[in-house]
Structure 1
């Protein structure tokens, strides 16, 4: 089979390959975000949930529309030292109320 790529076909082929590449990179970023921070500079401590069904929010405010996940009792997560409005940041776009978590290590959270 002989394939002739000229003009429009070449542009379309390049656009398709670029589109697939962009989707791949976005998927990788999404996985990294869900796993939480991995750098020792951004991971200040580990926390554990003290209650079942602790809501993880996309912003440090109580809003039914910003719930992105839930933690089970005893579930652990990396966390940063950033606290706003009574919420600790777990990673980008993931916040949890400080009333329902406890630090697991000797580091000051």
Structure 2
């Protein structure tokens, strides 16, 4: 099957691709904002930590596995956390864990 690409068809294809790309970017931004705004759990957030390294991997489970990386934190980035620590990982929220070695509790918080 051979498609004849006229100027009109090319323009329509480009507009559709741009629209899909725009929707994808907006959805990714909204998901990132929701994850950062969500409290660590239903309990009052009394713990807040700061990343001590750039590119700190946030994982979906408290274990090192290349397939469970869901996000990254920049050095100095602050996030709400839970007091729960398991296997050397601190829980940030549902499906969000970071290595305890690369975060430090902020002053005035109870971790």
Scaled to the shorter chain, the TM-score interval is 0.5 to 0.7
Equivalent residue number for residue 16 of structure 1: none
Equivalent residue number for residue 94 of structure 1: 96
TM-score normalized with structure 2 length = 0.64
Separation of aligned partners in 1, 2:41 and 2:54: 28
Given that 2:41 and 2:82 are in contact with CA atoms closer than 8 Å, whether structure 1 keeps it comes out as no
Equivalent residue number for residue 84 of structure 1: 86
Name the Cα RMSD after superposition.
2.5
Deviation at 1:41, TM superposition (A): 2.4
Counterparts in 2 of 1:96 and 1:41: CA distance versus 1, 3 Å: same
1:73 aligns with 2:75: yes
Separation of aligned partners in 1, 2:100 and 2:55: 14
Given that 1:42 and 1:80 are in contact with CA atoms closer than 8 Å, whether structure 2 keeps it comes out as no
Could you list the structure 1 runs, at least 4 aligned residues long, displaced by more than 2 angstroms after superposition: 28-36, 38-42, 105-108
Aligned length: 82
1:48 aligns with 2:54: no
Partner secondary structure for residue 101 of structure 2: helix
Q: Note the residue ranges of structure 2 that are not aligned, 5 or more in a row.
A: 1-29
Separation of aligned partners in 1, 2:81 and 2:102: 13
Q: Note the residue ranges of structure 1 that are not aligned, 5 or more in a row.
A: 1-27
Separation of aligned partners in 1, 2:50 and 2:71: 15
Counterparts in 2 of 1:82 and 1:38: CA distance versus 1, 3 Å: closer
Given that 1:45 and 1:79 are in contact with CA atoms closer than 8 Å, whether structure 2 keeps it comes out as yes
